Amino acid sequence: MNLIEILKKWIPSEEKKKRKTEEHCLNDVGFSFDELEKAIGSNFDVYVYEKFNSLHEVKLTNKFQAEHKGKSFQTVIDEVEDNGTAIAIKYQWKGEPYQSKNDLC
């Protein structure tokens, strides 16, 4: 398998993007993408976070601070998650969840 074939595996097609968008619209607001205007006036619960809002509860991962730059530590990998656009390696440090995320595209 050459590099182009490998990359194509991770780059979603336009059709796949359309399908995922349609699924999100239906799941989040109950209307298709073409009918989103029908959601105007509807009530939804919104989760408010420091830098964004979401219609779904989001499990936030801690981020290292500038003072941690260049330091190393040992830990155990808890989970590796591949969502098709990024690979997240999840672990604990001092009892708190962290992750290393590498974008594929």
Q: What is the DSSP string of 53-75?
A: EESS---------GGGTT-----
Q: For the segment 33-60, what is each residue's pLDDT rounded down to a tens digit? A: 888 889 889 998 899 988 888 888 888 7
> For a pLDDT cut of 90, what percent of the chain falls above it?
10
Reply yes or no on whether the pLDDT at 16 is more than 60. Answer: yes
Q: For the segment 76-91, what is each residue's pLDDT rounded down to a tens digit? A: 999 998 877 778 888 8
Reply yes or no on whether the pLDDT at 105 is more than 60. Answer: no
Positive/negative CA dihedral, 64, 69, 74, 76:
positive
Pairwise CA distance, residues 105 & 92, whole Å = 26
The reported pTM is 0.49
